[in-house]
Amino acid sequence: MIKSSFQTGDDVVAVTGTWATTAPIEGLDMKGSVYGPIDSISNGAMTVDEWQEQLVDVWEQCANAMK
């Protein structure tokens, strides 16, 4: 059953949607922004909260550049 594939707990909701294009965002490296900090979190150079703040900034940039 597909629903059970996304159900991980009573307080978790699966979110799905579609891809959207954005205007080019100068200086944004999506892969580096999303996955790059994982090593920094592992070695203590960055906290998860700092990473979350960075991700929110990236998502806001993308939302503002949506076509």
Q: What is the pLDDT of residues 5-61, one digit of tens each?
A: 555 566 666 666 677 788 899 999 989 999 999 999 999 999 999 999 999 999 899
φ, ψ of residue 7 to 5 degrees: the values are -90, 115
Q: Which residues of 26-52 are buried (b: 16+ CB within 10 A; e: fewer)?
A: eeeeeeebeeebeeeeeeeebeeeebe
Q: Per DSSP, what are the bridge partners of residue 22?
A: 66
Residues 6+ apart with CB under 8 A from 32: none
pTM of the model: 0.64
Distance of CA 13 to the CA centre of its chain: 16
In angstroms, rounded to a whole number, what is the distance separating the alpha carbons of residues 23 and 5? 34
pLDDT confidence of residue 7:
57
